[in-house]
Chain A
């Protein structure tokens, strides 16, 4: 969450590793057992809550919809056009990348980046099920995106950047990969007040 952002140097590395582990475990749980209940809404109910078009949710592979764990709808303001190159940071099971791929059409391209190899496999499978060729998924960290300088025209992201301990670096890297005139549309969790240290140090709460 934004107010707890601090440079990595101020953080003990084991805590960051523990939090990353818990976050990966939680996303695995959502993907593997979408029928379970979590602290957050997920799947189709969450997507409908955020005004995802029903036609998108009907058309997308059911697995991609069921594993959706976003916190909003970055497509509402992304203004993606045909031919755009879109980067989806924290692509998860692939729903947002798939929607973006429909928007860019055959002349465009979508790159999904995720830390979790298991999610990359799922997202690739969902894109294949959707019959999409212009979307690829790459493993990487959002602080050091596996994308060339000025390679993309739009960045979307949904509920992921708040998980980084190095948010400054994340935004610097988003700026690096965007073409001049490019834009971002990011939904994420922020906190108006400084969180208690006991909350900051609890990996389970980061994952919720």
Chain B
């Protein structure tokens, strides 16, 4: 997403992992862990 934001023209792009995010079911959680799936908060600005 970082690259897509940059390509669209956004500046001051920041990201932070959402620490509380997790899947409810163990099977989904394990698969998500295997593929590095996580929730992220992105912020960015359209230049003035």
- A residues apposed to B, CB below 8 Å: 1-2, 5, 37-41, 49-51, 71-74, 76-77, 159, 161, 167-168, 171-172, 174-175, 178-193, 195, 199, 208
- B residues apposed to A, CB below 8 Å: 1, 4-5, 7-10, 14, 16, 18, 20-25, 28, 31, 34-48
Contact B42 A186 (CB under 8 A): yes
List of B residues within 8 angstroms of A74 by Cβ = 41
Evaluate whether A189 and B39 lie within 8 angstroms (CB atoms) in the complex, with A37-B24, A171-B8 already known.
yes
List of A residues within 8 angstroms of B44 by Cβ = 183-184
Minimal beta-carbon separation of A17 from chain B (angstroms): 23
List of A residues within 8 angstroms of B31 by Cβ = 199
Q: Which residue of B lies closest to A180 (CB)?
A: B48
Quick one: which of A1, A39, A51, A190 contacts B25, CB cutoff 8 A? A39
